[in-house]
């Protein structure tokens, strides 16, 4: 009986020890697993810290680079601002000078316009005298005055050194300088324009008679001045005809080298 109990206790003790061994092994395995995981976690933490440290160093370097760039940028902005202020002041000074010059030009223009109006009025009064001639035929005087006024309106911008306009007894006398009419012996653009302006008036005056005198050079010994004069005549008459002046309005044409001034004279009479 006693022996049986002891054997039973022994078996129970063995079973308990086996369970303990198994539990110990399980705990040991668990510890090993936890240890492995802990080591992995530590290793990962070290790697993460190393990576974070590397990233942090990179960020520090970038920050330093940005600081340097920012300082350089501030310097550039300062320099550009100084240059801008300098240019701004120069621009203001130039604007002030321009405004002053513009004011002077406007003032001078007004003075020139006033002087031009005065001279135009003086010239008009000089070349268009009311009742300057006493003639028996008052209708001719009226026609001449009207014709002279119309001619003046057409060529007034040219009257001066190159064109003269005056009344001479019972005729209107127009003096045209060669330097205006001709260029290299040919009719110039200005000459053609002036003649067309004269023709614009004369083509509507059927009762007019034209006498044209052309004075050529006395010094051109190697050239036939008569041929030069006639060539110029032909161009003048051709231009007048082209712009409406009829052949029956020409009374006389002639060329001469008796005067030193090269000019063309047109005498306009009223029938």
Domain containing residue 192: 136-270
Residue by residue, pLDDT tens for the chain (271 residues) are 444 556 776 677 767 777 777 877 777 677 777 777 777 778 887 777 777 777 777 777 787 877 787 787 778 878 777 877 887 788 788 888 888 887 888 888 788 778 777 877 776 666 555 444 444 567 888 888 899 999 999 988 888 878 999 988 889 999 998 888 988 878 999 999 999 999 999 998 888 899 988 887 655 544 567 777 788 888 999 999 999 999 888 876 766 655 556 788 999 998 8
Centroid of chain to Cα 68: 46
CATH for 152 = 3.30.1330.60
Q: Measured between alpha carbons, how far is 50 from 141 in angstroms, rounded to an integer?
A: 120
Q: Measured between alpha carbons, how far is 133 from 235 in angstroms, rounded to an integer?
A: 34
Give the dihedral of Cα atoms 151, 154, 156, 161; nearest 10 deg: -80
* Count of the separate structural domains present in the chain: 1
pTM of the complete model: 0.48
């Amino acid at each position: 009986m006693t022996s049986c109990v002891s054997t039973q206790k022994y078996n129970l003790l063995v079973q308990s020890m086996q369970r303990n061994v198994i539990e110990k092994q399980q705990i040991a395995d668990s510890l090993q697993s936890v240890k492995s995981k802990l080591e992995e976690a530590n290793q990962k933490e070290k790697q993460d810290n190393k990576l974070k440290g590397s990233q942090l160093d990179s960020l520090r370097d970038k920050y330093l680079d940005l600081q340097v760039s920012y300082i350089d940028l501030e310097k550039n902005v300062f320099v550009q601002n100084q240059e801008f202020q300098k240019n701004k002041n120069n621009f203001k000074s130039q604007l002030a000078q321009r405004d002053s010059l513009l004011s002077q030009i406007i003032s001078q223009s007004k003075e020139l316009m006033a002087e031009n109006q005065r001279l135009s009025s003086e010239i008009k009064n000089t070349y268009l005298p009311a009742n300057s001639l006493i003639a028996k035929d008052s209708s001719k005087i009226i026609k001449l005055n009207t014709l002279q006024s119309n001619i003046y309106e057409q060529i007034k911008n040219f009257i001066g050194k190159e064109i003269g306009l005056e009344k001479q007894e019972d005729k209107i006398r127009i003096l045209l300088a060669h330097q205006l009419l001709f260029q290299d012996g040919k009719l110039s653009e200005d000459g053609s324009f002036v003649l067309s302006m004269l023709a614009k008036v004369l083509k509507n005056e059927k009762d007019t008679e034209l006498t044209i005198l052309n004075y050529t050079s006395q010094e051109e010994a190697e050239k036939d001045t008569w041929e030069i004069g006639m060539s110029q005549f032909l161009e003048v008459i051709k231009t007048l005809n082209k712009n409406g002046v009829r052949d029956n309005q020409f009374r006389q044409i002639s060329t001469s080298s008796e005067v030193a001034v090269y000019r063309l004279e047109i005498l306009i009479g009223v029938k």
